[in-house]
Amino acid sequence: MILDHRGDTIYKTAGVDAEVPLCHRCGNSSKKHFYSYDSPLDGKRVTYCMKCVSLGRSDSMKPIRCRPTSRRKSASPYHLDFDLSSQQAYASDRIMKALRSGRSLLLYAVTGAGKTEMTFQSIEWARSEGLNVAFISPRIDVVKEVHLRLGQAFASSDIDLMYDGVKHVHNNHFTVCTVHQLFNFIDHFDFIIVDETDAFPLPEDPILMQAIRRASTSKATLIFMTATPSRQLIQEVGEEGVITLPRRYHGQDLAIPKMVWHDIRRDLNRGRAPQKLMKLIRDIIEAGRYVLIFIPEISMMETLLKVVREVYPASASVYSGDPERTSKVEQMRNKEIRVLLSTTILERGVTFDRLDAIIVHAEMFNTESLIQMCGRVGRKQTDPVGNIWFFAHYQTSAIRRTFRTIRGFNAARVDT
Ligand SMILES: [Zn+2]
């Protein structure tokens, strides 16, 4: 069923059971995520759930309405203007087999493997059988990008798009959305693809995993896609359900990061330009390339931007709340910006040409982020490797695990 305030059926007489407390929409039962106040109208105590408030309020006064799930067969042909690599074709077949037999899979795939395209064949089949399909990700940027790409490939299909305040819904048969949006679905989807499974906030938030399970039918096939699988996820699908996809779609190795031991923050705090970094940026620009510099904190990023901009005016910075975020990414794509400083916001979902990457204070990032940041370079057939530098003050287990993962992918055999 689909929870919907326009539905004719009452699913629960109140969205929140204030006594427990429990939210019947998202399953939140943690006291700190509820808020109570006395209604100015009748003085009654109202409790609402803050966890899923972005989907519209679930509270102790209003019922949750719903409408039944429907299924409809639909011919959903897709078009791809290139051939899948042998690894992509192998993965595509494995996903097809998993779907036909109602099993789940974990695609442990290198960044830039071309994961989205591996799902097309199965999506087409699922829709022709009348199965409800969802392609979900924890990250809004990824959701938007995937919706665009699916829209181009499945040009004659109606594809829903839902995240935060955005809701373009045709019929709930073929949906691209953030994980949070699944709170409105119960036993609805038969085939769910979870992209960027390692991205915040999925690993830290068990409620989101519950949302995926509740939104899917008992026989549903779940496909998890990630470059850094957690133990919990491997358990979820079982060892035999894990497929390793170590090659990028163009077949080249991943670049191995070069380590530079240096404390950039100390330079900035003393009002000095970090010379090693400045020389590196000069070398990159003189080689006719572009650079994405990842910084762990916004304040450090802004200080560094001033220093870099004095020498290279075609520089900019970007963070999640930046109103000009989209236009800056566009300018980088159009080669108007040479040096782009960013928080982890650009660690996924972006592709730039002739790009190198520098990670500042790499010791402050986790492995998931480091792998994704490294994954930004070498994504184009015309420039398939690129360069990565880690500037770190000291060694960490996350840095070591990143090197292990990248070397492991480069050395791995490809199943076909
Ligand atoms: Zn809730």
- How many domains are contained in the chain? 3
Assign residue 331 the CATH number of its domain.
3.40.50.300
Amino acid at 116: T
Whole-number Å distance, alpha carbon 173 to ligand 1 midpoint, is 24
Whole-number Å distance, alpha carbon 54 to ligand 1 midpoint, is 9
pLDDT at residue 273 tops 80: yes
263 in the same domain as 209? no
Whole-number Å distance, alpha carbon 34 to ligand 1 midpoint, is 8
Whole-number Å distance, alpha carbon 228 to ligand 1 midpoint, is 29
Rounded mean pLDDT, 202-216: 83
Whole-number Å distance, alpha carbon 292 to ligand 1 midpoint, is 38
pLDDT at residue 208 tops 90: no
Across the chain, what does the average pLDDT equal? 93
In sign, the C-alpha dihedral spanning 19, 20, 24, 27 is: positive
Phi, psi dihedral angles at 156 (to 5 degrees): -95, 5
Q: Among 68-77, 174-183, 341-350, which is the least confidently predicted range?
A: 341-350
pLDDT at residue 189 tops 80: yes
350 in the same domain as 268? yes
270 in the same domain as 231? no
Do 182 and 134 contact (CB within 8 A), yes or no?
A: yes
- 26 located within any domain: yes
Whole-number Å distance, alpha carbon 16 to ligand 1 midpoint, is 8
Whole-number Å distance, alpha carbon 179 to ligand 1 midpoint, is 14
Nearest to 341 by CA among 299, 371, 379, 370: 299
Predicted pLDDT at 203:
64
Rounded mean pLDDT, 58-70: 95
pLDDT at residue 400 tops 90: yes
234 in the same domain as 127? yes
Domain boundary among 245, 275, 303: 245
Whole-number Å distance, alpha carbon 47 to ligand 1 midpoint, is 11
**255: its two tokens:** 């670049």
**What's the residue count for the chain?**
416
Predicted pLDDT at 207:
80
For 248-261, how does the pLDDT look when each residue is reduced to its tens digit (9 = 90+)? Answer: 999 899 999 999 99
CA–CA–CA angle 59, 60, 65 (5° rounding): 65
Predicted pLDDT at 197:
84
Predicted pLDDT at 202:
65
pLDDT band at 200 (very low <50, low <70, confident <90, very high): low
Q: Please give the residue range of the domain that contains residue 356.
A: 258-404
Cis peptide bond prior to 201, omega within 30° of 0 = yes
